[in-house]
Amino acid sequence: MTKLGAAVVSTTLYTTRSYVARPTSQGCETIVRSASRDLTRHHVRVRNMSESSQLVRQWKLLLALESSHTGCTIQDLITQLEMADKTIRRDLKVLKTVFRITETTGDKGRKRWHMQPLSEVAGFNLTDLLSIHMGRQFLEPLAGTPFWDGHRKVIAKVKQAIGSNGLKYIDKLAAAVHATNVGISDYSQRGEMIDQLMVAIEDHKVTLIVYQSMQATEPVEQEIYPLGMIHHRGSLYLIAWSSRRQEVRNYKVDRIDSVDVQNLRYEVPRDFSLRDWLANSFGVYRSGRTTLQTIRVRFARAAARYVQESRWHHSQQLKPQKDGSLIAEFRLPDIAEIKHWILSFGPRATVLEPPELVEEIQQDLQQMLASYSQNSETTR
């Protein structure tokens, strides 16, 4: 039996910086300033600026209290957060109704404010909770799948730990970032199918699928050995060994009509990983070609900055030109996916090499022009 690689499924939807608390002589943490700056920097658009400034101010206060082992006096907070006495007392009064904040009196009647670390209550600190809750909107395209169900269970545990008021407060902070859902796939009715595929991946089970590719006129049953799942541009792709093609291929989950997991297991070698398999791909597509070729594209000034803002491929080399344009170079075995990406820039992108890609784009543009010309004639 053909040996295949162990499935490695790794989809990172949201990451946060780890903040290391460093106690000061007053017992509050100097981490507050850097945490608040980072939080503010990631808040792209705020619906109500006055409400946002209040939330960020209270967020800094919560971080100070949570990270302090000995509690903070009002004077500690004034010095650390550079806020007015009345503002701090007013915020403390509000936050006491949401989180477990208490006040104790020590020597010489000196009062300190304490907050029970959320890590003791929920297993997560404040920054963790915010990132988990913000991650919900990024997982919504996977509604109905095991990934979405798992996230909902985590949110339910968070709500149980901090209460509905605490969750509402976290929700206000998370509302500052919004993820668009343009062009995403709908998996709300495919949860059971995706669950079966995940079982096949984990248990190395031979699987029969009924699949209709973009070129096929009707669905075809195929025997595959599932290796892993990839979430790419709002859609899920199954990576599996095809018995018919005798190679590893990708299958868009949207085009799978049925899944039948067999009892027969397949053996997998240890040297296969999805990361390595995708290393030279411009997305998820891979043909049987392995020889790398150089793709050079000139982007006009109007598109140059946009291209420079992102990392499109690990092999990219971006070379700004004196006239404001940009020449981008990539090393890829296939041109199919990068061709569609280049065409999305319209006249602002021109392929310089290889000749094969130049010719393909010329043919596509000629067909497009002919189609528009024909359509113009029929509508007259």
The DSSP line for 76-90 is: HHHHHHT--HHHHHH
SS3 268: coil
Map tokens 């545990």 to a residue.
Answer: 157
Distance of CA 277 to the CA centre of its chain: 20
Q: What is the pLDDT of residue 98?
A: 82
DSSP character at residue 72: B
Q: Please report, as a single letter, which amino acid is at residue 120.
A: E
Q: Which contiguous run of DSSP H or E holds residue 240?
A: strand 235-242
Is pTM beyond 0.75? Reply is no
Element (H, E) at 1: none
SS3 11: coil
Buried (b) or exposed (e) across 240-251, using 16+ Cβ within 10 A?
A: bbbeeeeebbbb
Question: Which residues of the chain are modeled with pLDDT < 50?
Answer: 1-49
Task: Give the per-residue pLDDT at 365.
Answer: 94
